[in-house]
Chains A and B, each alone.
Chain A
Amino acid sequence: MKGLYALYSDPSEAQRAVNHLRSNGVAQRDIAIASSEPIEEFEFGQRDKATWLYYIASGGGVLGLCAGTWLALMTQTAWPLPTGGMPVVAWWPNLIIMFELTMLGGILATVFALFITARLPSRGAALYDPEVADGKILVGVKNPKGDAIPALTQALRVDVHTQVKLL
């Protein structure tokens, strides 16, 4: 993958770079951003915030509830054995199994949904620089067109010290 990027120490500089890229006609999906911590205070950190994760977790919970109900009912009726004066299908203790599997379903669905929506594990090439670990914010463009590179370089150079790198 080709890429053009710069690293910024200050999130406001990163925001300016993102704004410049947009004004140069770069589509939102082509702007790459990476940081070593979530940045909530700036517009670029608010990208892709909408998520179905809460609904997926609830769906997982419902599936878990169904699985728990089925398991409790099936095991009790597979060999109907009265125990301690309780009915064969005893709902009070069944609620415990149903509750635990509901929560387990919700938790597992959340984790699976996180991995799928955040594209983890990802082994493909990505616009990244190890300096991000030191607190720098990476802003760049994936697969820039050759003739656009000078303009994009200019857009990323928010001050004279900004170093723009080409992959």
Chain B
Amino acid sequence: MTAAAPRINQDLLRPLLETSWRFYALVLCLGALVAVGVGAWFYQVYYGFGVTGIRWPIYWAFYITNFVFWIGISHAGTLISAILRLVNAGWRRPVTRCAEAITVFALMIGALFPMIHLGRPWLFFWLIPYPSERQIWPNPRSPLVWDFFAIATYLTGSLLFLLLPMIPDFALVRDKTTGWRKKTYGMLALGWQGTPKQWHRLESAMQIMAIAIIPVAVSVHTIVSFDFSMAPVPGWHSTIFGPYFVAGAIFSGIAALIIAMAALRRFLHLEEYLHPVHFQNLGKLLLLMSLLWAYFVFNDRLMIWYGNEPAEMAVFWVTQRGSFAPLHWAMIVCNFVIPLLFLTHKRVRTITGCVIASVAVCIGMWLERFLIVVPALGHKYLPYSWGSYSPQPVEILVTISTVAAMILLYVLFAKFVPIISIWELKVGEQSRLPTPEAMREHPLWQANP
């Protein structure tokens, strides 16, 4: 057993037991932003979609961009965590829970957008597979019904994947606290004792779930890409959209994870647990995904340009040198140039470098989603059906408030749950396997270099 156990407990339970005024101030600010967004949405529901910039021929704009973006961000956690679990990467231990929480919250927010996008959101349940009074069921040939099944499966799986390894940590909080905390965490711990049988079952279950969740994660963003590629819209009807979307989702997901980890490290003082080597490794992954993303973009654009089909070329040119060109080239800079500058060389692949690259990637990936959705809808086949789009305040407010909602959920989660899996960290200390060179530079229990 690790002699460091009491210290690990103390360090990682500190955020749960001590609360500063900064926490309340942050929650208040974020809560206010969320309230503004909810108010804007009610305004939209009351006055109708005329208050947004969504009108013929562009019926999908900010909201569907946000939907695709958040579903993409959700790929950070469960997928990365599951892959690292299966390959038994030792450095994953402090990272997995931070990542899995992003998945759950991003999915919850992403899944809200199809509802926000409905003129009559109270009829959302029509998407759920149950028969109407005329015995009509939702059509399983519609990509929107596939979305429901994919997102519901991924959300259920991710939530369970996050919750199961939390049970031993809830038991630990139960044993280390008193009063209402002891009662609450005692209930959440479900009577966990830590017998060998319970540990084996938990580890087997996590192994099975890791195997199951990887294809589900891939399927989710593939199905989100089908929302576009199943339609004969210029620029959308592409066979590579599935892997292109999955690569983009993992790309933005890793970026979100790096930002979250850097924030946790700084504000919860987790420097002893989230090491530069974790950022180095995630930075390398981010660089790899940047190159993969660039490869897919090149593929997509080359096919359109070489095919020279007039309707597709209209979309192509409007993004390359037309009204959307500034956004397009900003996307290239954010997703390719900045990651290349900050992540290629070890000297600049510092925590700050990784965070700068990650912020750029999040912005770039949002722009990419926007550029997939809007220019194509605004330039369909015949010029009489062309149109433009400019976002209105209500859409901007809702978008900003969902970012605030994501941060708020994450802050509250870090306040009430150990954000690093305590028992997994102890296992990492106990195993004492031959340490790889990269880890030896930053030993886990010594002062941060």
List the interface of chain A (C-beta within 8 A of B): 9-11, 32-39, 41, 44-49, 51, 53-54, 57, 71-72, 74-76, 78-79, 81, 83-84, 86, 90, 93-94, 96-97, 99-101, 103-104, 106-108, 110-111, 113-115, 117-124, 126-128, 130, 132-137
Contact = CB atoms under 8 A, between A and B. Distances in A.
B323 interface: no
Contact of A96 (B137, B146, B152, B175): B146
A16 to B, nearest CB: 14
The 4 A-B residue pairs whose C-beta atoms are closest, nearest first, are: A135-B5, A122-B191, A121-B190, A75-B137
17 contacts: A9-B3, A38-B200, A74-B137, A76-B139, A83-B141, A96-B149, A100-B146, A103-B153, A103-B215, A107-B213, A110-B205, A114-B204, A117-B197, A120-B167, A133-B171, A135-B6, A135-B426
A128 B142 CA distance: 54
Interface of B: 1-3, 5-6, 9, 129, 131, 135-142, 145-146, 149-150, 152-153, 156-157, 160, 164, 167-168, 171-172, 175-176, 190-205, 208-209, 212-213, 215-216, 219, 223, 423, 426-427, 430
Contact of B129 (A34, A75, A128): A75
A34 B200 contact: no
A81 B176 CA distance: 61
A48 B196 contact: yes
Contacts of B202: 38, 114, 118
B208 A106 contact: yes
A36 B223 CA distance: 41
Contacts of B135: 78-79
A134 B6 contact: yes
Nearest to A36: B194
B160 A107 contact: yes
A54 B432 CA distance: 28
Given A39-B196, A49-B200, 13 more contacts: A36-B168, A37-B199, A38-B427, A39-B1, A53-B201, A78-B136, A93-B146, A96-B223, A97-B140, A107-B157, A110-B212, A120-B192, A120-B198
Most buried by A among B138, B150, B172, B193: B193
Contacts of A72: 140
Contact of A103 (B146, B167, B212): B212
Nearest to B182: A130
Contact of B219 (A45, A47, A76, A100): A100
A45 B233 CA distance: 59
A107 B146 contact: no
B232 to A, nearest CB: 10
B73 to A, nearest CB: 21
A134 B149 CA distance: 43
B423 A36 contact: yes
A47 B205 CA distance: 17
Given A54-B208, A134-B9, A35 B140 contact: no
A33 B195 CA distance: 6
B197 A76 contact: no
B140 A75 contact: yes
Contacts of B204: 51, 53-54, 114
A53 B208 CA distance: 8
A34 B194 contact: yes
B427 A81 contact: no
Nearest to B196: A47
Nearest to A9: B1
A9 B427 CA distance: 15
B140 A38 contact: no
A64 B430 CA distance: 39
B1 A136 contact: yes
A12 to B, nearest CB: 10
A46 B196 CA distance: 7
Contacts of B223: 96
Given A100-B150, A103-B157, A130-B175, A83 B208 contact: no
Contacts of A130: 175-176
Contact of A78 (B131, B149, B195, B426): B131
Contacts of A33: 195-196
B136 A111 contact: no
A39 B423 CA distance: 11
B201 A51 contact: yes
Contacts of A39: 1, 196, 199, 430
A133 B194 CA distance: 10
B140 A45 contact: no
B26 to A, nearest CB: 30
A111 B146 contact: no
A118 B203 contact: no
A107 B156 contact: yes
B418 to A, nearest CB: 12
B208 A35 contact: no
B218 to A, nearest CB: 11
